[in-house]
């Protein structure tokens, strides 16, 4: 089990207690939870059965009910398929039975298509979804996809959907870290298919924490901003919201934003890295008195990309490239190194895992100038790059073949 799973477990258990500390019973929860299950042919029948059992047990632990949490299951395949919509099942045990009865769909792994479909389901009244309640997506995958995942997943997160990803161990760490909600330590789990039970309680706690009612909460926290979301407290006709933001150490440098009564989210950008911010949501209702809500959010440390690229061990067909790595609590998840001729031509790339800061580029042409670019990828999904020029030396000049003595007739002595 990777360290992230252990960290995520501890964080989720701590956050799961936050609702209890507020005095809110689990029955007060409201939210729409969509399970996105990889049901394609890339998943073995055994893996599918293990994941299905895991999701069933998870659902049985959740407060599912008509006025509480509603759940839906969508399959990933050649085309997305809804196993059951929101509101069809009124208890956790009923959802568990429905998940256990789900059959594998097979086909291609078109996860991007399924995510676009999931966005429609999460906000469609016809699918049983409700306006103004927290939205959570739990995607269980073997890591592969036949189509792009990034853009449709970002659309979901931009709409305030909290995204949890459970990978059975073969996924691309950089891609999945960017796809999950931030911070990735809480929202991304790498677990072997036979060890999924280890994260059941932790994931349950994280899901419940994302769905506490009447609670202002932050997601998609980066070094320069974060997304705020809250349940619907007003309507467009019954009032408006005033959103206030100020650094904890400098309350005078506050920012204010007025939002209509039907708003349920807002994104603050252009903030300072590694800084505590105090947020206040003030509902101004012309119908009834509503209390303001307060939250403190800390932005991530600044994302520092690679520095000081050094090219060494230059050979006619290879170069050794090193760089000063990103350090600190928000260190890069990995590096992408690309090299291409300055005068044009095909470029090649190498993936370098986190913790390493050098690589040897092979298969180059002698006596050629190249542009080398090292890109650091961060948990927030952002990237920082640095480039440098390098040149391979000329190869050894080919020697003319030595003349062979001509033989004349007769035998050699």
For residue 24, is it within any domain?
Answer: no
DSSP readout, 354-389?
Answer: TT--EEEE-SPPTT-EEEEEEEEE-TTS-EEEEEEE
Give domain status of residue 247, yes or no: yes
Identify whether residues 202 and 78 lie together within a single domain.
yes
The Cα–Cα gap between 413 and 393 comes to: 48
Find out whether 224 and 261 touch, Cβ atoms under 8 Å.
Answer: no
pLDDT in the model for residue 154:
84
Q: Which of 299, 324, 347 is the last residue of a domain?
A: 299
In a domain, residue 277? The reply is yes
Shared-domain flag, residues 277 and 343: no
Does 232 lie in the same domain as 257? yes
Q: Provide the residue range defining the domain that includes 335.
A: 307-392
Asked if residue 290 lies in contact with residue 214, where contact means CB atoms within 8 angstroms, the answer is: no
400 within domain boundaries: no
Identify the pLDDT of residue 166: 94
> Both 255 and 202 in a single domain?
no
Contact 188, 147 (CB under 8 A): no
Strand partners, 166: 140, 189
CATH classification of the domain holding 190: 3.40.50.410
Spatial distance between the Cα atoms of 378 and 331, rounded to a whole number of angstroms: 7
Looking at the structure, do residues 54 and 182 belong to the same domain, yes or no? yes
Same domain for 90 and 139, yes or no, is yes
Q: Over range 76-84, report the average pLDDT.
A: 94
Are 377 and 349 in a shared domain?
yes
Question: Is 136 in the same domain as 221?
Answer: no
pLDDT band at 331 (very low <50, low <70, confident <90, very high): low
**pLDDT tens for residues 236-291?**
999 999 999 999 999 889 999 999 999 988 999 999 988 999 999 999 999 888 88
Residue at 325 is within a domain: yes
Pairing of strands 188-190, 162-167: parallel
As a whole-number percent, the residues of the chain with pLDDT over 70 amount to: 85
Last residue of a domain, one of 211, 230, 250: 211
Q: Which residues are bridge partners to 376 per DSSP?
A: 335, 384
Identify whether 260 is part of a domain.
yes
Is 239 in the same domain as 197?
A: no
pLDDT score, position 5 = 42
What is the pLDDT, as a whole number, of residue 17?
Answer: 40
Question: Average model confidence (pLDDT) for the chain?
Answer: 83
- pLDDT at 213 (0 to 100): 55
Give me 132's structure tokens: 């103004």
At 265, which CATH number? 2.60.40.10
Whether residues 187 and 63 share a domain: the answer is yes
Flag whether 366 is in a domain.
yes
Claim to verify: residue 80 and residue 202 sit in the same structural domain: yes
**Same domain membership, residue 192 and residue 44:** yes
The total of structural domains in the chain comes to 3
Please give the average per-residue pLDDT across 160-187, as a whole number. Answer: 84
Where is the domain boundary, 187, 211, 235? 211
Q: What is the pLDDT of residue 267?
A: 92
Q: What is the per-residue pLDDT for 87?
A: 86
């Amino acid at each position: 089990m990777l360290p992230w799973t252990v960290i995520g477990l501890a964080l989720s258990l701590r956050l799961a207690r936050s609702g209890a500390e507020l005095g809110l019973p689990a029955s007060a929860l409201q939210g729409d939870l969509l399970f996105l299950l990889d049901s394609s042919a890339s998943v073995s029948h055994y893996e599918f059965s293990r994941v299905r059992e895991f999701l069933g047990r998870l659902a049985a632990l959740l407060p599912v009910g008509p006025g509480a949490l509603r759940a839906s299951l969508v399959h990933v395949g050649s085309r997305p398929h809804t196993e059951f919509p929101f509101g069809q099942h009124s208890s956790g045990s009923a959802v568990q039975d429905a998940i256990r009865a789900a059959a594998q769909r097979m086909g291609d792994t078109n996860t991007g298509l399924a995510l676009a479909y999931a966005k429609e389901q999460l906000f469609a009244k016809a699918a049983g979804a409700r306006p103004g309640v927290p939205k959570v997506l739990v995607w269980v995958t073997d890591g592969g996809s036949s189509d792009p995942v990034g853009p449709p997943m970002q659309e979901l997160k931009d709409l305030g959907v909290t995204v949890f990803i459970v990978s059975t161990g073969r996924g691309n760490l950089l891609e999945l870290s960017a796809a999950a909600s931030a911070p990735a330590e809480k929202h991304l789990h790498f677990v072997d298919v036979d060890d999924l039970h280890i994260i059941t309680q932790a994931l349950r706690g994280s899901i419940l924490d994302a769905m506490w009612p009447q609670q202002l909460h932050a997601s998609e926290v980066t070094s320069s901003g974060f997304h705020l979301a809250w349940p619907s407290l007003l309507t467009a006709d019954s009032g408006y919201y005033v959103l206030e933001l100020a650094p904890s150490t400098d309350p005078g440098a506050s920012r204010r934003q007025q939002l209509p009564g039907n708003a349920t989210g807002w994104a603050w950008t252009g903030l300072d890295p590694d800084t505590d911010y105090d947020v206040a949501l003030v509902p101004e209702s012309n119908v009834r008195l509503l209390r303001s809500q307060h939250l403190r959010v800390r932005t991530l440390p600044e994302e520092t990309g690679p520095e000081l690229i050094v090219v060494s061990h230059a050979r006619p067909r290879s170069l050794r490239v090193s760089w000063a790595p990103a350090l600190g609590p928000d260190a890069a998840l990995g590096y992408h190194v690309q090299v291409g001729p300055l005068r044009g031509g095909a470029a090649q790339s190498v993936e370098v895992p986190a913790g390493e800061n050098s690589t040897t580029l092979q298969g180059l042409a002698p006596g050629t100038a190249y542009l080398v670019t090292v890109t650091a990828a961060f948990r927030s999904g952002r990237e920082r790059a640095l480039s440098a020029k390098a040149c391979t030396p000329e190869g050894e000049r080919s020697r003319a073949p030595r003349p062979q003595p001509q033989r004349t007739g007769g035998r050699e002595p």
